[in-house]
Structure formats: C-alpha cells, structure tokens
Amino acid sequence: MKHLLILIFGITLLSQSASGQDTTSTPKHTVVTPKGTRTVSAEDQNRELNDRLRRIAQEREEAREEKQNKKRIIKIVGKIALVAIIGGIAAWVWPRKKKS
C-alpha cells in the first residue's frame, strides 16, 4: 500500500513536469503596473501589498499627528491672545496711579 502511494505521487510529479508546470515554485500572478505587465509570485505580491498598506497607514498616522499639532498650536495661540486681551482691558479699566 505504501509503495502504491509513492508510485502514484511520483507519477503525478512526472506528469506535471512533463506538461510544463513548475512543481517547485510558488504560484505566479500577472500584475499590471504603470510600466507594463510582469509576472510575480504570490509571496512577492503579498509582500508588495503589505508594504503598500503599511505606507498608507503610516501616511495617515503622520497626517493625524500633524492635524493634532495644528490644533494644539491654535489652542496655545488662542490662550496667549486671550491673556493679552484681558491684560489690555485691565490696563485700560484700572489705570495706574500717577506718582506725584
């Protein structure tokens, strides 16, 4: 029984290699790029897609941080302006006593 399975497996491999199929490498996919079409393995395609997704996520994170920094700066400038306005009103309402 064991020899029969080995024989069937061997015949299957021989028939695949005789038909021109590559039995050792991973499946290939045709990818369309701006420069044309090319054939890549499934692993390479997954790696490229993961790199692209990682880059997009990093760009989104950077944009979010930049937006938060802008909000923080606006809050600080607003507080400084508020203190300056209150100080100006206070100086106008309560003028100093003149030294005689």
pLDDT in tens, 45-77: 889 899 999 999 999 999 999 999 999 999 999
What is the pLDDT at residue 33?
73
Whether residue 47 is contained in a domain is answered as yes
* Contact present, 33 and 48 (Cβ < 8 Å): no
- Strands (DSSP E) found in 1-77: 28-33, 36-41
How many domains in the chain?
A: 1
Range of the domain at 46: 23-93
In the predicted structure, residue 13 carries a pLDDT above the cut 90: no
pLDDT at 96: 74
Evaluate whether residue 51 is within a structural domain: yes
In a domain, 13, yes or no: no
Does the residue 10 lie in any domain? no
Q: What are phi and psi of 37, to 5 degrees?
A: -105, 150
* Residue carrying the six token digits 């997704």: 53
CB 13 within 8 A of CB 2: no
pLDDT band at 87 (very low <50, low <70, confident <90, very high): very high
Please report whether residue 1 resides in a domain.
no
Give the pair of three-digit tokens for residue 2.
């064991």
